[in-house]
Structure 1
Amino acid sequence: MAEFDVVVLGTGAAGMTAALSAADAGASVGLFEKSSLIGGTTCLSSGVAWLPDNRYAREAGVEDSRAEGVRYLESLSRGMIRPGMAEAFVGGTSEVTDWLETRTPLHLSLVPGYPDYHPEHPGGKPQGGRSVEPELFAFDELGAWADRIEGRTRRMMVRETPVGGGTGVVGPDEANRRERQHLEGLGRAMIGALLKGCLDHGVEPVTGAAAVELIQDGNVVRGVRFADGSTATARHGVVIATGGFEWDSDLVRDFLRGPMSYPATVPTNTGDGLRMAMKAGARLGNMREAWWVPVCVLPGQRNHGEQAVHLVLRERTLPRSIMVNRAGERFTNEAANYNALGGAFHRLDPSDFDYLNDPCWLIFDARHVEEYGGFTLPPGQAPDWALRAGTLGELAREIDVEPATLERTVERFNGMAADGVDADFARGASAYDGFVGDKRYYPGAGSTLGPLDEGPYYAVQLHISTLGTKGGPQTDVDGSVFTVDGEPIPGLFAAGNAMAGPTGMVYGGAGGTLGPALVFGYRAGRAAASGGRR
């Protein structure tokens, strides 16, 4: 039996930040990970964190404030953000970024110009300023741990990629430098830096440790029992940061608001923390919500033994592409942010009681392929698994859609593209819509609007997936978990996707998952280190 002041479960951004925060506050910390690799879904991500009113924006001359950040979140919340959580999140960004810069190896910088996902809402930022990313991190600093981190090597920063406003090309000299120095960016850079901070504080993760039960003395949480029968006691508190439940089909069926398939996360996210919290009497919140994203499957490719998927972000935003449902009709603004598209995929037809828009089809033409490529391929190449036909009518038959309907849909879209105004779904009206589109025409609707008029034509099936669920035990602003009666469970804390999402259904902007994970992971670690007193 191991004894610590604080036990943290999970090594994604929330768990690592909680462990480092608690250790920096003077606590002895036990950090445990279910997988044989650390970092979880954070390592698969861009590593961008959405942090309103951050120091990097101020240094760049971007005007922002706590009031604007809170107003923006509340304008989108539909009443689902619990009292005080938005204020704690936005009000905590300065403290967290200052702490990261001065007390940890994780250094962040602005992704210039990245708009909020709903920038025209009150308090939104059409010119960006709230999305930040980790600087390149040298994995040589991790010693033997460098080979024990989830994901694949990516020596880029988001600002250099098309998704972040760049070209996707790094000069050969710089590319060689990064190779020689083992520099990485994106999500693995964030986890690598946080891990280095933990190791510097004497916190070494224990992998292959699947937590199955909280140890309680009355209602007080005293530790954790693992699948192998071992235990870890916590004098001050346990922080659950085990991620979501998207890989557990029963939990998905029971809680999520609509269909979800092919989750784009690590398959260890099976709701372990949720079950432990429920057994301890936790009150749940935000259970129907997830960080929605459309994906396509990559035939013949596997990831962690599961079907590999591709996040369909840029392909549907670029000109000369549309999405159509099983009736062959457009049903949404294709260039909208990926999380908001979940609502369009989840539209239930009251007559036939079916989700007509899930799955759907991305339709694009030969010119789209020639100029943009896509699905990880360069311009001029289309995946060999995409359906292809010489005419729209032939393509319609390939995807089991009425040819006349698809032809009418494309004809109408082409007319609106020529006018530069999408009268049906306002594609291109928001400053966000074209940011990851054709930068030659941004800002402006031309960055995302363009006709489909050059055969051959292509179709790829899309499904609504998730970057993680966002429901779990309800907490206060410092991560202390509530009982069903609204009282704190002494010694139990939660952070990240294992807690009831502090921003409700809102995905504020790029990094809307990791921003709250950093802030509330930090707060939960501090609170746990002090025994719940901050």
Structure 2
Amino acid sequence: MDEFDVVVLGSGAAGLMAALSAADAGAHVGVFEKASLIGGTTCLSSGVAWLPNNRYAREAGVADSREEALAYLGSLSRDMILPGMAEVFVDSVDELTTWLETRTPLGLSLVPGYPDYHPEHPGGKPAGGRSVEPRLFPFGRLGEWADRLVGHTRPMMVRETPIGGGTGFIAAEEQRRREDQRLEGLGRAMIGALLTGCLDHGIEPERGARAVELVREGDRVTGVRFDGGREVRARRGVVIATGGFEWDADLARDFLRGPMVYPATVPTNTGDGLRMAMKVGARLGNMREAWWVPVCVLPGQENYGEQAVYLVLRERTVPRSIMVNRKGVRFTNEAANYNALGGSFHQLDPASFDYVNQPCWLVYDAGHVAEYGGFQLPPGQAPEWAHRADSIPELAGKIGVDPDALTATVARWNDLVAQGRDADFGRGDSAYDGFVGDKRAYPGAASTLGPVDTAPFYAVELHISTLGTKGGPRTDIDGAVIDVDGNTIPGLYAAGNAMAGPTGMVYGGAGGTLGPALVFGYRAGRRAAVATGGRR
């Protein structure tokens, strides 16, 4: 039987952080990944991490403090952040980043100007300072492992993309330099750097290894049983970092607060870690919550054997677009952050007992297409699969909404735009609203307000999806899993989307998923490495 001090299940940011942290503390570590590729949903992400009061902001002259960060999280918590979790998250940032810079290949840098997602709340940062991203990483350092990561080559940083404040284009000479040096950014850069650190410590993740059960001796978790019956012993601890449960229809139905379709994650996130933790008596928390995001489907395209989706961020934020529900009326601030929009999609009407804002349609015009393109297309092009019509009533007929209602909604919107303010839903009022909008007019409402008045008109159906669920076993501040009686389960830890989200329902800003994943992955690995183990 293979034996390790620490066994880590999962190879996303939380898992590799836990592995690298434990190894750096002297533990013999084994990493096991269910999929055939390394990196999980982190590789598909921007790689941005939300880390309040960080060193990179201070070096850039951005003011922040522990008190402001905690006030901000507290103002959004709605009593779902457990005492101590927010404090240890914020207080661990300096230790984490110092360790990353001095002991690992992962370097971070500030994404300039990226506002918090609720910047007008107490302690919020309208001018940014809390979102950081990995520096470009040379994939040549990975050797044969370079081709074993989820996703495809992305030689760009978030700050260079439209959602991060850039144009989405880099000079041809710089593009060639990055290609020649195999430099990558975003989520794959984060995983590439963490994986390199693990390889430097002699940790080679084992792929195609699906864990199905925790092995116990008495009340202590001492190992893992894999699909097929193989067992691996963990002398000091097992860290569950298997991601969320969004791809398991039964778990999603039983736990999530409302409908969710077309997850925007790797399809191996089927709740394996959740089931294993439940079997040993773990207390669960935050189960109703997910990292919500609106998406559209990309007809005829697949990702890893599942329907491909596109995250609809910029298209609903730039001018000349609105979102309407089945009745043909607006129902929210279209430019709000994607996670907060989940609440609008989950609005349940007590009379009809139905989710009144589903289906939802993004309606936009020829001016929008000419200026911004969208849905992976450049300015001047619209997707062939979008509904198209020469008038608003005709478009209403094509998407099944009342023509008079949609006509009135568009007219009302155009009047509000002419007045310079969305008096109905406040689109453009927040410093966040226009950040991914038209940068030529940012800051200001004009970066997101614009009439829908030029034929032809278009409509694309939006669905509420997720970047991962955020419920799982409750843990203490070091990732040790707590049982239903409030006691820690010896030898068991959790991190990332496999744990009860330490920030509750809060998505503080860009990187709100990966920030806690890095912090608590680091803490769980450190704790597991020094835990008193079973017999050797």
The alpha carbon displacement at 1:356 in A equals: 1.5
For the structure 1 residues 229 and 110, does the alpha-carbon distance in structure 2 shift closer, same or farther, using more than 3 Å as the test? Answer: same
Amino acid at match of 2:417: A
Match of 2:65 in 1: 65
The alpha carbon displacement at 1:418 in A equals: 1.1
* 1:233-275 superposed Cα distances (whole Å, 9 cap, x missing partner): 1111000000000000000000000000000000000000000
Match of 1:50 in 2: 50
Say which SS state the counterpart of residue 41 (structure 2) adopts: helix
1:3 aligns with 2:3: yes
The alpha carbon displacement at 1:532 in A equals: 6.8
Q: Which runs of 4+ in 1 moved over 3 A?
A: none
1:309 aligns with 2:309: yes
- Equivalent runs, 1:199-218 vs 2, <5 Å: 199-218=199-218
Match of 2:288 in 1: 288
- Equivalent runs, 1:236-255 vs 2, <5 Å: 236-255=236-255
Match of 1:191 in 2: 191
Amino acid at match of 1:345: F
Q: 2:219, 2:447 → 1: CA distance?
A: 57
Match of 1:181 in 2: 181
Match of 1:508 in 2: 508
Say which SS state the counterpart of residue 299 (structure 1) adopts: strand
Match of 2:437 in 1: 437
The alpha carbon displacement at 1:460 in A equals: 0.1
Amino acid at match of 2:114: Y
- Equivalent runs, 1:385-534 vs 2, <5 Å: 385-531=385-531
Q: CA RMSD in A?
A: 0.7
Q: 1:202, 1:420 → 2: CA distance?
A: 60
CA contact (8 A) 1:470 1:501 kept: yes
* 1:34-82 superposed Cα distances (whole Å, 9 cap, x missing partner): 0010000000000000000011000000000111111101100100001
The alpha carbon displacement at 1:229 in A equals: 1.4
* 1:274-310 superposed Cα distances (whole Å, 9 cap, x missing partner): 0000001000000000000000000000111000000
Q: 1:263, 1:407 → 2: CA distance?
A: 33
* 1:336-368 superposed Cα distances (whole Å, 9 cap, x missing partner): 000000000000011111112122000000000
Say which SS state the counterpart of residue 146 (structure 1) adopts: helix
Match of 2:269 in 1: 269
Q: How many residues align?
A: 533
CA contact (8 A) 1:53 1:90 kept: yes
Amino acid at match of 1:63: A
* 1:423-462 superposed Cα distances (whole Å, 9 cap, x missing partner): 1100000000000000011100000000000000000000
CA contact (8 A) 1:480 1:532 kept: no
The alpha carbon displacement at 1:230 in A equals: 1.1
Amino acid at match of 1:375: F
- Equivalent runs, 1:153-172 vs 2, <5 Å: 153-172=153-172
Per the normalisation by structure 2, the TM-score is: 0.99
Q: 2:354, 2:315 → 1: CA distance?
A: 26
Match of 2:40 in 1: 40
Q: 1:99, 1:161 → 2: CA distance?
A: 28
The alpha carbon displacement at 1:331 in A equals: 0.3
Q: 2:297, 2:133 → 1: CA distance?
A: 28
Q: 2:446, 2:419 → 1: CA distance?
A: 10
CA contact (8 A) 1:17 1:525 kept: yes
- Equivalent runs, 1:315-354 vs 2, <5 Å: 315-354=315-354
Amino acid at match of 2:339: N
Amino acid at match of 1:32: F
Amino acid at match of 2:419: D
Q: 2:185, 2:370 → 1: CA distance?
A: 29
Q: 2:288, 2:189 → 1: CA distance?
A: 31
Q: 2:71, 2:65 → 1: CA distance?
A: 10
Q: 2:470, 2:32 → 1: CA distance?
A: 21
The alpha carbon displacement at 1:228 in A equals: 2.1
Q: 1:335, 1:282 → 2: CA distance?
A: 38
Amino acid at match of 1:215: V
Q: 2:341, 2:218 → 1: CA distance?
A: 44
Q: 2:328, 2:241 → 1: CA distance?
A: 42
The alpha carbon displacement at 1:126 in A equals: 0.1
Match of 1:149 in 2: 149
- Equivalent runs, 1:82-121 vs 2, <5 Å: 82-121=82-121
The alpha carbon displacement at 1:135 in A equals: 0.4
Q: 1:363, 1:411 → 2: CA distance?
A: 13
Amino acid at match of 2:58: R
CA contact (8 A) 1:359 1:464 kept: no
CA contact (8 A) 1:30 1:205 kept: yes
For the structure 1 residues 280 and 410, does the alpha-carbon distance in structure 2 shift closer, same or farther, using more than 3 Å as the test? Answer: same
Q: Which runs of 5+ in 1 are unaligned?
A: none
Say which SS state the counterpart of residue 377 (structure 2) adopts: coil
Amino acid at match of 1:299: P
1:29 aligns with 2:29: yes
Say which SS state the counterpart of residue 395 (structure 1) adopts: helix
Amino acid at match of 2:224: V
The alpha carbon displacement at 1:467 in A equals: 0.1
Q: 1:248, 1:358 → 2: CA distance?
A: 22
Q: 2:353, 2:280 → 1: CA distance?
A: 37
64-73 vs 35-44, which deviates more? 64-73
Q: Which runs of 5+ in 2 are unaligned?
A: none
Amino acid at match of 2:418: A
Amino acid at match of 1:237: G
Say which SS state the counterpart of residue 334 (structure 2) adopts: coil
Amino acid at match of 1:416: L
% of aligned pairs identical? 76
* 1:134-176 superposed Cα distances (whole Å, 9 cap, x missing partner): 0000111000000000011111000001100001110011000
The alpha carbon displacement at 1:8 in A equals: 0.3
Q: 2:98, 2:413 → 1: CA distance?
A: 48
Q: 2:383, 2:301 → 1: CA distance?
A: 13
Q: 1:420, 1:358 → 2: CA distance?
A: 28
Amino acid at match of 1:158: V
